[in-house]
Structure 1
Amino acid sequence: MTVTIFKNLTLFDGKRTKNINDAWIAVDQATGKITDVGSGAIPQNDLEIDLAGQYVMPGLINVHTHISLDPTAFDGGFGKSKVETTILAYQHLRKLLKSGVTFIRECGCLYDIDIELSKMQQKGVLHHIPTILPSGRLFVMTGGHGDAPHAAYRVDSADEMRKAVRKGLKKGAQTIKMVATGGVMTPSDFMEDPQLSTAEMRAGVIEAHHKHKKVSVHAEGNPGIQNALDAKADSIEHGFYVTKKEAQQMLAQDTYLTPTLIAEWVIPQFGKGKIPEWELKKAADALDDTYQNLSLAYKLGVKFTCGTDAGTVFNDFDKTPAEFELLTKLGMTPAEAFKCSSINSAKLCQIESEYGTLETGRFADFLVLKNNPLVDVTAVKQLDKQVYLHGIREF
């Protein structure tokens, strides 16, 4: 075994609430996994890399991305060919990695491109991108949010959902994404409009769970959030209008919440004069309510994950670091905000034995920062930070 020691660093391992001073990390060059972590005297090794006292923290896990969408196009870029979309998706993956994201869970991908890219990654023929947990296409009702060519399975009954989920799993989906409400981007529906029914979603959840896969549900308002919870979804995506009763049900069911705050924040921030007034109004009206509702859910103990909805309008693939600053507006400390990624996101994706924290047995996916992230949550926004993937520097 050939070992590289990263030394002279201050370590936030993603688990503790305090840094480890004068720390070092030992990495097996063959596997890219951490073999030991410590402080003080350095063990025997083959290669040493001195990080000059900088701060090291886990690579970011983003559990809500749409790598096939174009955030610069108001229509999402749905009209592009599969070849164009694939090239765009690869560029987006590289941008995610440069921003510090080392693992993603897709939440709906055109042409099932994420499934194909993930298979190539697993075969060892595609490198220099975050590890992908692919979802393939969305599961939506006819005419619902996300119903676009090459984007979704249209399902209008429990039986249709059951068959569609089976098809998605056969193609290689490792996570399932459903849509229970309207959204900001669709002119014909609103956040409070219910879409897939509880019975339809429940049929899909059962099928996914048979294969030990998790189900996430786009649910911005009610009654859609309640419908998704009653269907036993594993995570609620957005959840802007979550109630106290629903938060308590989430606790009882161990359901995660992915707030995607940045996706809502960017629309009124950058959209004036560029997008329709109806779209601006839907986002702006919801933002204040979002902070209030999600703050209550957090105080009640709901487990939050880190996701950005990257790919939606104005929501580019370099914005994951900005999500943590918004999470602190819900009452989180910097350490608690980062744990949404390192611990909670890893558990939701069922990868916690290999990803998320910088401990023995995990992959050496980490960031090197100039400033202390546990003191200043914006330290992770550093543009020239070092990004390591399985112990190899990518940026």
Structure 2
Amino acid sequence: MTKVLFNNFSLFNGKDNQLKSNAWLLADRKTGKIVSVGSGDEPKADQYMDLNGKFVMPGLINVHTHITFDPYSSTGNTDVDEVQSTVRAVKHLHELLKSGVTTIRECGATYDIDIVLEKLREAGQLKHVPTIMPSGRPYGITGGHSDLPNWGYHCDSVDAMRHDVRVGIKKGAKAIKVMATGGVMTKQDSMYDPQLSAEDMRTAVVEAHHKGLIAMAHAEANPGIANAIKAGVDSIEHCFEVNDDEIDSMLKKHIFLTATLQTAWAMKHYGKGKLPQWEMNKIDACWKMLTKNIKHAWHRGVPVVVGTDAGCPFAYFDTTAKEFELMAKYMDVTNYEALLANYHSAELLERNQQFDPKVGVLAPDYHADFLVLDHNPLDDIKAPQQEDKVVYKGGIKEV
């Protein structure tokens, strides 16, 4: 019995600003994909699932996670062995799925663990976890933001970058992450420090794009943001100091922006007295910039995606849905506009020609990854945060 008809629910398909009542969805559990969606007259199926008048929306997509990091540490606590890192990563993947996240883009894992775990998931040997677009280790300079124990590649020349990216792709990386600036969690640098040059990063982007993969840049301030745009990355992570000229370029090149509001918000609200003062000083500056500049970029039309930086201090793996609430509140957007960031996340992943996400929308030929909620997310932006929501992946109940 592979064809399952889910009926008696109201549908937010993830893309359209409307709620379809008396909806049904026919899923094929063999392929994990949706056969058809509609309302009213229902098609025949092998099995019927009455959703009792609840609300259905697509599974969440978190495009900025660090599954091997410890969110209870000020620096990610990467200085642990491979076994400890793997156990931590699997635990975090389970937490992500339980919270409603059905797909992630990992943005830097110790020991390339994300690559191995995605291979195991795809082979059916790792269950009850999201689909992973792995990036492996990030690429940066010696002494830079990625220079943490067991973590980044050290790329101090264009030739080194070309070699290391090719090694990462050979291992199985499906997204390439480069470090354009310093950051909050590394004491030795600043978000204003340019690290990899535009030429360095362009080399990584070319290698990624040659293989049909996507590339992202950690870039918190300038000149790093400008360098990342020149390099032609597909998305810029954080992007706190983005200005109008850079917004023009991002719109022209259709570069996505990963705002990571939740980490900045959580560190600012929970970090006092728990994080070192140098780190709090950095996050205070970031928060002031992002609430002005990212909001401006959003309202000018830059596509903003859902990424929480899960694994960083106080950015837990079961709180992805809170990002929508923060977006609506601090970016001054409607509930629908906040939820549409999940669809933009899917658009970003679809640029990867080696990956078949087909997620973020509940429509024929897309994966049957969806949440069953008690309340309408278009009316209540906190609805996806429901603790006891039901999570389906490939048409199969996971939680």
User: TM-score, normalised on structure 1?
Assistant: 0.98
Change (3 A) 1:87 1:352: closer
C-alpha deviations, 1:61-115, integer Å up to 9, x for none?
Answer: 1000000001112231212110011011000000001111000000000000000
Question: For structure 1, which segment, 282-291 or 240-249, has the greater mean C-alpha deviation from structure 2 after superposition?
Answer: 282-291
State which of 355, 365, 368 in structure 2 corresponds to 1:364. 368
- 1:110 is matched with 110
Deviates more, 1:331-340 or 1:110-119: 331-340
Corresponding position of 1:333: 334
The amino acid across from 1:85 in the alignment is: S
* 5+ long unaligned stretches in structure 1: none
After superposing the two structures, state which structure 1 stretch, 70-79 or 196-205, moved more.
70-79
Unaligned runs of 5+ in 2: none
Matched, 1:388 2:395: no
Cα pair 1:353 1:361 within 8 Å, conserved: no
| In structure 1, distance between residues paired with 2:57 and 2:348 | 20
Q: Which amino acid aligns with 1:355?
A: V
Shift in Å, 1:32: 1.5
CA distance in 1, matches of 2:153, 2:86: 20
Q: Is the 8 A contact 1:346 1:352 kept in 2?
A: no
Which residue pairs with 2:228 in the alignment?
228
Report the Cα distance in structure 2 between the residues aligned to 1:20 and 1:115, rounded to whole angstroms: 38
**Which letter maps to 1:164?**
D
1:242 aligns with 2:242: yes
Corresponding position: 1:79 with 2:79: yes
Q: Name the count of aligned residue pairs.
A: 394
- After TM superposition, the structure 1 stretch with the greater mean CA deviation from structure 2, 175-184 or 279-288, is 279-288
Which letter does structure 1 place at the counterpart of 2:304? Answer: F
Per-residue deviation, 1:30:
1.2
SS at match of 1:299: helix
* Deviation string, structure 1 residues 121-142 (Cα, Å, up to 9, x no partner): 1212211100000000010100
2:202 aligned partner: 202
Please report the TM-score for the alignment, with normalisation by the length of structure 2. Answer: 0.97
How far apart are the structure 1 equivalents of 2:331 and 2:235?
Answer: 19
Show the counterpart of 1:130: 130
Q: Which residue of 2 aligns with 1:186?
A: 186
**CA distance in structure 2 between the aligned counterparts of 1:75 and 1:183, rounded to whole angstroms:** 11
Contact 1:64 1:309 in 2 (8 A): yes
1:8 has 2:8 as partner: yes
In the alignment, the residues of structure 1 paired with residue 60 and residue 298 of structure 2 have an alpha-carbon distance, to the nearest angstrom, of: 20
Q: Are the counterparts in 2 of residues 2 and 30 from structure 1 also a CA contact under 8 Å?
A: yes
Q: Give how far 1:4 is off.
A: 0.7
Q: Counterpart of 2:321 in 1: which secondary structure?
A: helix
In 1, Cα distance between equivalents of 2:232 and 2:73: 34
Could you tell me which amino acid in structure 2 is paired with residue 181 of structure 1?
T
Amino acid in structure 2 at the alignment position of 1:389 = K
Instruction: In structure 2, give the amino acid aligned to 1:291.
Output: T
Q: Is the 8 A contact 2:79 2:150 kept in 1?
A: no
Q: Distance in 2 between matches of 1:108 and 1:230?
A: 22
Q: Does the residue aligned with 1:169 lie in a helix, a strand or coil?
A: helix
8 Å CA contact retained: 1:177, 1:217: yes
**How many Å separate the matches in 2 of 1:172 and 1:109?**
13
How far does residue 352 in structure 1 lie from its aligned partner after superposition?
Answer: 7.4
How far the C-alpha of 1:2 sits from its partner, in A, is 3.0
The amino acid of 2:391's aligned partner reads V
Residue equivalent to 1:376:
380
Root-mean-square deviation (CA), in Å?
1.1
1:146 to 1:71, Cα distance in 2 relative to 1, 3 A: same
Amino acid at match of 2:331: L
1-side partners of 2:250 and 2:309: how far apart?
Answer: 21
1:274 — aligned with what? Answer: 274
What are the superposed Cα offsets for residues 321-357 of structure 1, whole Å, 9 maximum, x if unpaired? 111111112132212211211x211121116772110
1:258-279 CA-partner distances (Å, limit 9, x unpaired) = 0000011111211111111111
Amino acid at match of 2:78: F
> How much has 1:388 moved relative to structure 2?
0.7
- SS of structure 1 residue aligned to 2:236: strand
Give 1:355's match in structure 2, choosing from 344, 359, 363: 359
1:22-75 per-residue CA deviation (whole Å, 9 max, x = no partner) reads 101001121121111011122211111111111000000100000000111223
The whole-number CA distance in structure 1 between the counterparts of 2:211 and 2:44 is 44
Matches of 1:347 and 1:290, distance apart in 2: 23
8 A contact 2:146–2:153 mirrored in 1: no
For 2:167 and 2:391, locate their aligned partners in 1 and report how far apart those are by CA, in whole Å.
36
Matched-pair contact (CA < 8 Å) for 2:75–2:312: no
**Counterpart in the other structure of 1:90:** 90
Amino acid at match of 1:258: T
Over residues 196-237 of structure 1, what are the superposed CA-to-partner deviations in whole Å (9 max), with x where a residue is unaligned? 111111111111111111100000000000000011111000
